[in-house]
Amino acid sequence: MSRLIVFNSISTDGYFTDRNSDVSWIHSQDPEFNAFIADNAKGGGVLLFGRKAMMASYWPTPQASKDNPEVAEGMNKLPKVVFSKTLKDVPWNNTRLVKSDIASEVRKMKQERGPDLVLMGSGTIVSQLTNARLIDEYQLVLNPIVLGAGRTMFDGVEEKVQLKLKKTKPFKNGNLVLWYEL
């Protein structure tokens, strides 16, 4: 059975995007943190995205290969699933478009024998799958920035969800990775 892991960066005040849906504040010039991200990208799995968080406008580009070759290679070769009711197709290689009910599809994917599923970015999908109790682990990168406003990935969660802290990893750039499980 596959596990579902959320990997998201959040600001100190709890937002995963700023008020303009910008996430450029996430990027780091810290070699130690960048090595962690590159190593994490090698972990494999099936990447899950929503339409807005898909990242297809960056990772398949020559600029991404130049800026961060290891992460770009992982992002481009791993299998990906994009959930969208409005997209007609997804041109990113190794990507499947799913238009059906997200929770039902993820439930089926988790029952299959295979690699873990890693959801990146989408707050709407995180909250839907949190409500359905389908997320096994939350990996949150707490960034040392206060945005003042933005979107929380838990907007729409209907009931309290008690999480257990598994481990933490601090970085010199001030980022702190927190691993939580149900």
Asked if the model's pLDDT at residue 54 lies above 60, the reply is no
Query: Mean pLDDT for the chain?
Result: 89
Instruction: Look at residue 160 and tell me if it is in a domain.
Output: yes
Residue 181 lies in a domain: no
Does residue 182 lie within any of the structural domains?
no
For residue 38, tell me if it sits in a domain: yes
pTM given for the model: 0.90
Give the per-residue pLDDT at 40. Answer: 77
Residue 129 lies inside a defined structural domain of this protein: yes
Q: With 60 as the cut, is the pLDDT of residue 143 above it?
A: yes
CATH of the domain at 143: 3.40.430.10
Q: Sheet containing 137-143: which strands, arranged edge to edge? A: 95-98, 80-83, 46-50, 117-120, 4-11, 137-143, 176-181, 164-170
**Mean pLDDT of the region 148-169:** 96
User: What are the pLDDT digits (tens) for 94-128?
Assistant: 899 999 899 999 999 999 888 999 998 788 899 99
Q: Which residues does residue 83 pair with via DSSP β-bridges, in sequence order?
A: 50, 98
Total tally of structural domains belonging to the chain: 1
Pair 80, 95: CB distance under 8 Å? yes
Q: Check pLDDT > 80 for residue 43.
A: no
Asked if residue 45 is part of any domain, the answer here is yes
pLDDT of residue 114: 85
In a domain, 63, yes or no: yes
Give residue 28's pLDDT. 74
pLDDT grade, residue 53 (50/70/90)?
low
Domain that holds residue 9: 4-175
Q: What is the mean pLDDT of residues 152-179?
A: 95
